[in-house]
Structure 1
Amino acid sequence: MTTSRPGAPTGWVWRVLAGWAVGPQPLVGIALCLLAVVYAGAVHWRPEWFAASGLLLVLLVGAFVLRWRWLLVLVSFVVLLTVGLAVAAVVNAGEIAVLVLACGAVVTFGVERERLGLQGAPGALMLVDLRDRLAAGGRLPDLPAMWQVDAEVRSAHAAAFSGDFVVAHRDGPSFEVVLVDVSGKGQAAGVRALQLQGALGGLLGALPFERFLPAANRYLLSQGWDEGFATAAHLTIDLTTGAFRVAIAGHPPPAVLHAGSGRIEVLDPPGGIALGVVDDMSPGVVGGVLLPGDAVVLYTDGLVEAPGRDVDQGIDRLLGVVETVVAARPGSAHEVLAGVRAAEDDDRAVVVVRRR
């Protein structure tokens, strides 16, 4: 059993910066302003040794460790120093333009962070913790030796957050896994995905199969999000008999590989509107039995949708990859995703459950 999540740089850098920002903001702000003054003096003293663009480093540090008020103070200092250097004729027009643009970018960054309620490096650290929680919530439980499950989730453009996520639960011989695709992509979708993942993680295993997606729909409607819909595929398997059921809510149809015949069956039950669209939502449900060697593949639309290509063509291409990768050998979700070679402008996720 394996699982992978969207990649991102480790959080130690953010934690170091957060440690610097824990102290009194006036002390940190004054220190950075003094550093800017000292560096500007060095530029004035030896412009051939010190480039004025080095003030960008001071702005960069300030952008991550200072809160809004002291960030404005630092930017104002840098602007005044730039004017002073320009009057002294030790900087050229290109350097002035770069510093002015950098100040504008830092102010824009600070305004957006203030709007979101994120305060300095601790706010960035909070986003790192949110990303880590999203990864932890997608862990898959261990299954008996005769079963295998793994998942692969990749975010659009390798961002740290993904709108696709997995929730799984095992209670004795009963195993459930849910693959969800939240509307949107990137950080905005990732934050909504984290909130929804926490709610679905609490519901999964606590509600009967028939009530799970309707309950998820009610929760999503209660949030009142601007982009308030999501698609989902809910799979439950009896690990003793291999009997399974899949409930679909606006999600791409799962595929079942029948090892005995080599046939791939597309599970596309009627009905099943997306979550968060209408109050009275009933998922489409279909079932069957997994025999030894059979596998179920769940996936999100990022694998089969592309500009200029019909969705059915994308599904046919995916099925060809499943036949090659999963039927020929115990192919992993990673191999399926790699074989499809989907564009990276959308979140993508695959779950493969196999009975050995």
Structure 2
Amino acid sequence: MTARGDADRAARPSKLKVARRRPRLVPRGNRTLTLLVALTVVATMVVLIWPTNAPMTVLIVPLLLGSLLLGPRQLPWFVVFVMVMLMLAIVRQREITPRIVLAITVLYLLCFIVLLTSFRRSRLGVAGVQGESMLVDLRDRILSQGKIPELPDTWLTETALRSAGGTPFAGDFIVSVGTPGADRLEIVVVDVSGKGEQAGTRALLLSGAFGGLLGALPPADFLPAANEYLLRQGWEEGFATAAHLSLDLVTGAFEVRTAGHPPPAQLDAGSGRWTVHEGEGPVLGLIEDAEFLTIAGVLRPGDALLLYTDGMVETPKRDISLGIDRMLGQAESLLRGEFDGGADRLVDSLGSRNDDRALVLIHRR
């Protein structure tokens, strides 16, 4: 009896597990579709019962909700269902007036627009709200790559990014690497070919790749490795410019290497003058085995350094050298005695609103 009772008790958990694994009447993925179908049926019944008081346009509500919440596999069938319900509502109309004809036309036109949207969305494979949340997450990941780590109190580092047309996606991005308590800061400012949303996808891929390379390689090897990575992609417009800074936070000694990028500018606190560090380096992604010259210098207390993209200094009607002179003139007035918030002030006052802009301001207090 004891052995049999033990066997029965041992079998009970397995039976419970089997019971728990029974399929649901309505899978979780279809709950939204079921609720929307029920809402459509209720709306249709209201139109059928009170045809003179309830307009057929109430069917727009479930149609709009479906376009936002349903995935690309479910949405086309739901749109067809809404169109069938609309046909039932038309049958019960006592009199077909021009106003009703116009409402019917608009409703069917909206159904076809939602269908076209679902076919385009099928390439992504997610619903509208989910797709938007994914894009927001991707944008946040790009921005997080450029977050400056905690630095000693003697250092101020600010970044500012503006995209063409004010969109949240840009071809300019910043990547920084450093750990709390570390004595070295690595920053790279990148300008991907194109602007706005067109360059945003390439910027996302490159920001992740450059974030992995930055700090994992010696400073002198970063740009050659980034150049090889871009060459392997085989993009038709797969080039980018970059400026890489490696800064010793103890001594203030720095090294800058540029790849087809505007030259960095340094403020000498003793003389109050800005110096442009001209360097040579080919654009990333065009030439194999490219070599990049090193610009070395020291940031003393009171000094500052600017890294920026061409959107800050270049416009169709102005040469880049004149744009650099204008930027440094603005820096003299906007940063005089107050560096906090200086990056945003410079970006907002300079550059073209039709081009992406990025700037890094480093100040040794």
TM-score, with length taken from structure 1: 0.82
Is the counterpart of residue 288 in structure 1 residue 316 in structure 2? Answer: no
Gaps of 5+ in 1: 1-21
| Distance apart, 1:346 and its partner CA | 3.0
Give the corresponding residue for 2:11: none
Counterpart for residue 114 of structure 1: 122
Counterpart code for 1:347: D
253-262 or 118-127, which deviates more: 118-127
Give matches, 1:97-136, under 5 Å: 97-119=105-127, 121-136=129-144
* Greater Cα offset, 124-133 or 211-220: 124-133
Normalised to the residue count of structure 2, the TM-score between the two structures is: 0.80
Secondary structure, aligned partner of 2:159: strand
Asked if the contact 2:193–2:237 (Cα under 8 Å) also holds between the matched residues in 1, the reply is yes
Alpha-carbon distance between aligned partners in 1 of 2:165 and 2:315, rounded to the nearest angstrom = 15
- On the 8 A contact 1:262/1:327 being kept in 2, the answer is no
CA distance in 2, matches of 1:67, 1:227: 33
Q: Deviations over 1:247-283 (max 9, x none)?
A: 111222222222222222222312x222122222223
Paired residue for 2:350? 340
* 1:326-356 C-alpha deviation (Å, 9 max, x unpaired): 234214211111222631x332211100111
Which among 270, 277, 292 is matched to residue 267 of structure 1?
A: 277
Match of 1:250 among 260, 277, 295: 260
Question: What residue number does 1:322 align with?
Answer: 331
Q: 1:57 to 1:351 in 2, by over 3 A?
A: farther
Partner of 1:190: 200
**How far apart are the structure 2 equivalents of 1:23 and 1:274?**
53
Q: Which has the higher contact order (CA 8 A, sep 6+)?
A: 1
2:82 is aligned with 1:74: no
Name the CA shift for 1:46/1:299 in 2 (closer, same or farther; >3 Å): farther
The superposition leaves residues 297-328 of structure 1 with CA deviations (integer Å, 9 ceiling, x where unpaired) of: 11122223334444344333322221211234
Instruction: Quote the offset at 1:227 in angstroms.
Output: 3.2
Equivalent residue for 1:11? none
Deviations 1:47-66, CA, capped at 9 Å, x for gaps: 77655444444233222321
> Equivalents in 2 of 1:35, 1:316: separation in Å?
64
How many aligned positions are there?
333
Aligned-partner Cα distance in 2 for 1:244–1:189 = 30
- Over residues 168-221 of structure 1, what are the superposed CA-to-partner deviations in whole Å (9 max), with x where a residue is unaligned? 123632211111122233445333322221221121112111110110111122
Tell me the SS of whatever aligns to 2:333: helix
> In the superposition, relative to structure 1, how do residues 117 and 255 fare at CA in structure 2: closer, same or farther (>3 Å)?
farther
Would you say 1:149 and 2:157 are equivalent positions?
Answer: yes
The CA distance in 2 between the partners of 1:255 and 1:99, in whole Å, is 59
Q: Give me the whole-angstrom Cα distance separating, in 2, the residues matched to 1:50 and 1:300.
A: 58
Deviations 1:30-87 (A, max 9, x none): 4323323432444565577655444444233222321222110122233344455566
Larger of the two Rg values belongs to structure: 2
Identity %: 46
Write the distance in 2 (CA, Å) between the matches of 1:159 and 1:302. Answer: 15
Mean Cα displacement is larger for which, 154-163 or 139-148?
154-163
Specify the alignment match of 1:4 in structure 2. Answer: none
Q: Secondary structure at the match of 1:234?
A: strand
SS at match of 1:153: strand
Kindly indicate whether the alpha-carbon contact (under 8 Å) linking 2:56 and 2:103 is maintained by their aligned counterparts in 1.
yes
1:175 aligns with 2:185: yes
User: Aligned equivalents of 2:190 and 2:229: distance in 1?
Assistant: 14
How far 1:25 sits from its partner (Å)? Answer: 4.0
- Match of residue 249, structure 2, among 234, 239, 248: 239
Q: Which amino acid aligns with 1:327?
A: R
